[in-house]
Amino acid sequence: MRRKLVAGNWKMQGRQESNAALLQALRLHEAEWAGVDMWVAPPSTYLLQVAEMVRGSAIGVAAQDVSGAGDGARTGEISAGMLVDCGCKAVIVGHSERRTFGLELDGVVAEKFAKAQEAGLVPILCVGETLAEREAGVTASVVQRQLDAVLQLTGVRALAQAVVAYEPVWAIGTGRTATPEQAQEVHALLRACVAREDAAVASGLRILYGGSVKAANAPALFAMADIDGALVGGASLDAGEFVAIARAARAAQ
Ligand code: PEP
């Protein structure tokens, strides 16, 4: 059985005071979501604060990005080893906002994935199509290409220690969610791609859905066979919403 995971991507939002209030509320309600995994991904400036505040709780800390290089001459970048040193257990790689605004290509994302794993972090690999790609009917080939870039660099066994997030770009921060059926179709396709190379890895792989997940739509998404949780942006900044999403994950487990 795949344990459900809800991961909150705070993006470029938060201050020490609001972070503390949010984490206190998540911890206060821990009994309601116990049994599922909950990770939060604050901006890197707050990783140490968050790691300190979640100590002794079941909340895990993830970073939002990592360098594809090791320690050294990369001004402004943060290495995987530094993230581990700051208390991270996971890191998001290939988020569509990095692919779009940071112009990250598949090969760069794959290098980040590999560097994260080498350091002992769990990469959360984001894949997803734009609206134009969905309308052109190329969703399947886009997400397969994004996944393949990682598989070619690291091999399929690397996915045994990773998480994949299907995030249709048109659903991120737009309030427009993929229907559970649309999401399930892509999740099943991704799992089948992995299964062609290793059935055991595919059946253990957690594939999260991301894109305007809220307490109201989470139960229907989590009811789908291949949806193992959610990567949540906006709603993860609201403790009540995020706890309700985690409760829905627990109920679906
Ligand atoms: C995200 O940023 O990964 C995301 C899914 O955002 P939102 O939930 O706000 O659509």
pLDDT 10s digits, 176-197: 989 999 999 999 999 999 999 9
- Other C-beta atoms within 10 Å of 30: how many? 14
Determine which one of 95, 97, 104, 129 is catalytic: 95
User: Which residues form the pocket of ligand 1, taking CB atoms under 6 Å from any ligand atom?
Assistant: 9, 167, 172-173, 210-213, 231-235
Q: Which residue has the tokens 């991301």?
A: 210
Phi-psi region of 55 (alpha: psi -120 to 50; beta: other; left: phi over 0): beta
* Averaged pLDDT for residues 110-124: 98
What is the distance between the alpha carbons of residues 155 and 107, in angstroms, rounded to a whole number? 14
Q: Is 187 labeled as catalytic in the residue annotation?
A: no
Q: Is 167 labeled as catalytic in the residue annotation?
A: yes
Predicted confidence (pLDDT) per residue in 169-181, tens digit: 999 989 898 999 9
Residue nearest to atom 7 of ligand 1 (CA): 233
User: Would you say residue 1 has pLDDT above 90?
Assistant: no
User: pLDDT grade, residue 124 (50/70/90)?
Assistant: very high
pLDDT of residue 102: 87
**Confidence (pTM):** 0.97
What is the distance between the alpha carbons of residues 125 and 166, in angstroms, rounded to a whole number? 8
Residue 70: half-sphere exposure toward Cβ, Cα within 13 Å = 3
Q: Which residues have CB under 8 Å from 57's CB, separation 6+?
A: 26, 27, 30
* Averaged pLDDT for residues 30-43: 98
User: pLDDT grade, residue 147 (50/70/90)?
Assistant: very high
Question: What is the CA(27)–ligand 1 centre distance, in A?
Answer: 22
Residue nearest to atom 8 of ligand 1 (CA): 233
pLDDT of residue 228: 98
Of 192, 240, 198, nearest to 215 by C-alpha is: 240
Strand, helix or coil at 92? strand
Predicted confidence (pLDDT) per residue in 68-95, tens digit: 999 999 999 999 999 999 999 999 999 9
Of 191, 186, 188, 149, nearest to 168 by C-alpha is: 186
User: Would you say residue 3 has pLDDT above 90?
Assistant: yes
What is the distance between the alpha carbons of residues 50 and 38, in angstroms, rounded to a whole number? 13
User: Would you say residue 162 has pLDDT above 90?
Assistant: yes
pLDDT of residue 64: 98
* Averaged pLDDT for residues 204-224: 98
For 59, the enclosing helix (H) or strand (E) is strand 59-63
Average pLDDT, the chain: 97
User: Would you say residue 34 has pLDDT above 90?
Assistant: yes
Residue nearest to atom 3 of ligand 1 (CA): 233
- Cβ proximity of 123 and 162 under 8 Å: yes
User: Would you say residue 232 has pLDDT above 90?
Assistant: yes
Of 204, 173, 206, nearest to 187 by C-alpha is: 206
